[in-house]
Structure 1
Amino acid sequence: MISRRMMLAGLLAGAAFPAVAEVMDSSPRPVARGGKAAARPAAGPLDASDLIAAAKLGAASVAYVLLDAQSGAVLEAREPDLALPPASVAKAVTSLFALEKLGAGYRFATRVIATGSVTQGMVQGDIVLAGGGDPTLQTDQLGDLVARLAKAGLKGATGRFLYYDGALPRLDQIAADQPEHVGYNAAVSGLNLNFNRAYFEWKKVDGQWRTTVDARGERFLPGVDMVRVDVASRDVPLFTYAPGRVEEWTVASAALGKGGSRWLPVRDPGAYVAEVFRTLARAQGIKLAVAERADAVPSGAEIGRVESEPLPEVLRDMLKFSTNLTAECVGLTASGQGSLEASGKVQSDWVRTTFGVDFDMHDHSGLGGRSRVTAAGMAKVLVQAEREKRGLKPILREVGMKDDKGSVIKGHPVKVLAKSGTLNFVSGLAGHIVPPTGRELVFAIFSGDPERRDAVPVALREEPEGVKSWTARARRLQGQLINRWAGLYA
């Protein structure tokens, strides 16, 4: 059986098209891959200003802080109080916020409720699928839940099939300044499935395009009728989208090649989960009426449930795969607010009260371009969080020491535990440098050109011209700075 983490990796990779950057979904156009260049050791202890100049980041600002992890003393700094977009580095702070407000033992639950007694397999009343805001629910888990209900003898209901998705606010997207068609700009709901994406596949059959949309897992393959994709004979735009009971997409034929696939966002995830549940139920012999949304959870008996992993594991995967939906769901659950704007403010206020640092967060994932943090503030949060054993450092991803091309140096004795972040012309990295012996360091590095990012039309923000090479240079600079600091201070 495939693991949840393997499924997560597959979902986020978009199946046919590997992601080109942390929060940048892939293009339907396959990208040729060249051979690997021989790795060179990363830059030695050069002056940081020389490294920054060599990165050629244009008008972008570069800010960083390096601290002694034990004392918090500043060892190096450049523009430490300059506020820049954190991108997905914000998820590290969201993790701390959620761990305090929800606790390490917290699990999200998706429940099936019967409003009446069960007689000969039939619920004498309504069946309710009640979401609890789980951002990690997958088709295979939903299919297994249905299979357990069928094994217990459930056959249907005399009443309605209801779904409740109001445990979290219903948002059709995280950030309005991102393209509609990118899967990383997910909708948010109290019911979520497959990170609120449907699997779109296309191929030519007898000279005609054939498209399918499904909610595939590893063991279940339910079709999806509420999302439809038609191929349009054009070059641009790549996608168009029209909301409605059936979410209508068109895709440019010029982008499709001979065939392929990608994950597309679903903008009404509650209805999506309910449709998939009903399809899976029908395959198991459970007959349900067409789903209706419930404004509240009706009273009744729970007849089935599926739970997420404990919160630290949910957050560990979020930090590793940088899932924006997970960040927003855990942040909204922790704050109890009805909008991302209000929830981001609650988290910002919590950071100010807990760590004495000014953060200006407008969401929990860092996907939107309005949030701002400083390198000094981020580094201070990391030092205090580890000193107080708040549980962040153990779930951070080991990103490794890098060579001069940005590749991880295998077997290097120094560990780098950090969270990265990427938006168009924005790149960040913050975490811990841990040598086998000697002094542990904490760092935060932010590079950004917000004006250049904002100048790109929203429809072209999936991969604007020049962003790949800019991001590569920014990440290479991060590796060079870390290598330099490890050699000088660790």
Structure 2
Amino acid sequence: MDADASTPDADAPHTDILDSDSFVTSVLARERGGSVLASRNPDVPLPPASNTKLLTAALSLHHLGPSYRFETRVSRLGDSLVLSGRGNPSLSPDDLSRLADAVRDAGIGSVTNIIADTEWFGDQSRGPGWMWEDGRYGYGAESTPLALSGNTVSVTVSGTDVEVMPDTDAVEIRAQFDEAAAELRVFRDCPENTIRVEGKPPGEPQTETVSVGDPVRHCLLAFRDALEAKGVNHTGGVRVTDDAESGETVATVTSPPVSELVRKMNVPSDNFLAEQLARTVAREVRAEGSWDAWERVVGDFLDARDAGRARIRDGSGLSRYNLISARGLVRTLEWVGERPWSEAFFDSLPAPGEGTLAERFADVSGVRAKTGTLTGSRTLSGIVRREDGTDVLFSVLLGGLVGDDEERARERIDAFVSGVAD
């Protein structure tokens, strides 16, 4: 039997700060390859929130590899062009401009139809268990095989002037200002897929990130605009298909490697990037870029780690269906520590003073950890690299938080981690 299984409530003083009858706790802190420092209900599965991204990072580095790059390709099909996406989470307007340059340089001066090929992921674009209102804001951007600027736009409001970047005909803005309003609100009206700008005009320019309602069409129209800016005429229509014919490749752009993308995901806790990684893992492992396939990949992985009861339905942690225990996450971290790419993984986690740890652990050295926040849940899992060379792997999951417990959760978690770091 493993040491952590034989000591279900080891070293209670470390967990005193987390004791309560009003919320649920799953905690495990263990020296790597050594003794348990603290344990409280380590096998109770709770919502991991963005600690889900630890699984996404680990499985991306394992199945895709640190050097894997996402590809976006343009091919010629008769007198038309096909824009094919394979989940590139970093596709930018500059990338589309480079693709348009290559089309022009290939001697193509005019095209009839511009086609988006979405076969790589399929139709579903919102994770199972996401809340309806998640789609109103940038953090809830949909996951699609073709995705421009993370399937978001930046909306800058200066007085009553509104500027959108990147802007296409797929983005509709409705602005209604009110000097008497308390604040400015910028969000996507999900039923209508319009972006609403409402409330008090700001005295200084204010920029908000908002998800796009029809992201594949938005990307396709931006590519059309890039072609026209390079002098390539478009005489037909645009359409989206999941069954495009293959043609002669004209141009390709690629993403940064996965080793960089997992850090871009974990430091700010980027949900969109997490879903693109997760669905790509599912596609490469199961030949199906769906969340159901991803759930099977994660389930197989956790079963092999003897991680206990768990259910992981998305890659970001936005899903309210996700459940895993502290033991499940610590065993994942222990497995990561044995992999050749372990440093890339642990270095992808925020350190004190950066990203989601910007205002945490200023007096604690060696912490690298992933935060997690959902209504009623607060989580933190990661590693403490201690001066004596004994690394501590830990996971703290708090669920059922309301009122003051929810307000004080971060303080309690930080006190616990500071204790085990000594």
Superposition TM-score, scaled by structure 1 size: 0.73
* 1:115 corresponds to: 77
Tell me how far 1:166 sits from its aligned partner: 2.4
Listed as ranges, the matches of 1:85-234 within 5 Å are 85-116=47-78, 125-157=79-111, 159-174=112-127, 175-179=129-133, 180-204=135-159, 209-215=160-166, 223-232=167-176
Question: How many Å separate the matches in 2 of 1:156 and 1:60?
Answer: 63
Counterpart in 1 of 2:351?
Answer: 399
TM-superposed deviation, 1:267: 2.6
- Judged with a 3 Å threshold, the aligned counterparts in structure 2 of structure 1 residues 438 and 190 are, in CA distance, closer, same or farther, namely closer
Does 1:484 pair with 2:419? Answer: yes
The reply to whether residue 305 of structure 1 matches residue 252 of structure 2 is: yes
Question: Who is 2:241 aligned against?
Answer: 294
Unaligned runs of 5+ residues in structure 1 are 1-44, 117-124, 216-222, 453-465
Change (3 A) 1:253 1:326: same
d(CA) in 2 for partners of 1:240 and 1:108? 28
Cα deviations by residue, 1:26-54 (Å, 9 ceiling, x for unpaired): xxxxxxxxxxxxxxxxxxx994455336x
Aligned residues between the structures? 397
1:280 aligns with 226
Residues 20-99 of structure 1 mapped to structure 2, 5 A cutoff:
47-52=13-18, 59-71=22-34, 73-99=35-61
Contact 1:172 1:188 in 2 (8 A): yes
SS at match of 1:373: coil
Q: Match of 2:330?
A: 379
Contact 2:262 2:345 in 1 (8 A): no
Aligned to 1:419: 370
Q: What is the root-mean-square deviation of aligned Cα atoms in Å?
A: 3.0
Moved more, 319-328 or 288-297: 288-297
Report the 3-state secondary structure (helix = DSSP H, G, I; strand = E; otherwise coil) of the residue aligned with 2:315.
Answer: coil
The answer for the alignment partner of 2:317 in structure 1 is: 366
Does the CA-based 8 Å contact 1:348-1:358 persist in structure 2? no
**2:391 & 2:126 partners in 1: Cα distance?**
39
Shift of the alpha carbon at 1:253? 2.2
The alpha-carbon distance between structure 1 residues 395 and 250, as it changes in their structure 2 partners (threshold 3 A), is same
C-alpha distance after superposition, 1:245-273 (max 9, x if no partner): xx323333248667523111013211111
Sequence identity (%): 24
Cα deviation digits, residues 399-431 of structure 1 (max 9, x gap): 2399xx954437x6x311222212223211111
Aligned to 1:19: none
Secondary structure of 1:368's aligned partner: coil
Tell me how far apart the structure 1 counterparts of residues 366 and 296 of structure 2 sit (CA, whole Å).
33
Q: 1:295/1:407 Cα in 2 relative to 1: closer, same or farther (>3 Å)? A: closer
Deviations 1:377-401 (A, max 9, x none): 2112211221344536444324239
Letter in 2 for 1:397: L
SS of the equivalent of 2:50 reads helix
Conservation of the 8 A alpha-carbon contact between 1:378 and 1:444: yes
Could you say which residue in structure 1 is the equivalent of 2:5? Answer: none
Give distance in 1, aligned partners of 2:41 and 2:201: 43
The equivalent residue for 1:28 is: none
> How far apart are the structure 1 equivalents of 2:350 and 2:58?
18
User: What is residue 12 of structure 1 aligned with on the other side?
Assistant: none
Counterparts of 1:113 and 1:470 in 2: how far apart (Å)? 55
1:114, distance to aligned residue in structure 2 (A): 0.7
Q: 1:268 aligns with which of 203, 210, 214?
A: 214
Distance 1:49 1:314, change over 3 A: closer
Instruction: Kindly report which structure 2 residues correspond to 1:1-12, keeping only aligned pairs within 5 A, or say none.
Output: none
Structure 2 length-normalised TM: 0.84
Q: CA 1:240 to 1:320, structure 2 compared with 1: closer, same or farther past 3 Å?
A: closer
The answer to whether the aligner puts 1:241 opposite 2:194 as a matched pair is no
Alignment of 1:437 onto 2:388: yes
Pick aligned residue for 1:325 from 272, 277, 280: 272
Contact 2:308 2:325 (C-alpha < 8 Å) held by counterparts:
no
1:114/1:128 contact within 8 Å kept: yes
Q: Is the 8 A contact 2:48 2:379 kept in 1?
A: yes
> What is the alpha-carbon distance in structure 2 between the residues aligned to residue 261 and residue 333 of structure 1?
31
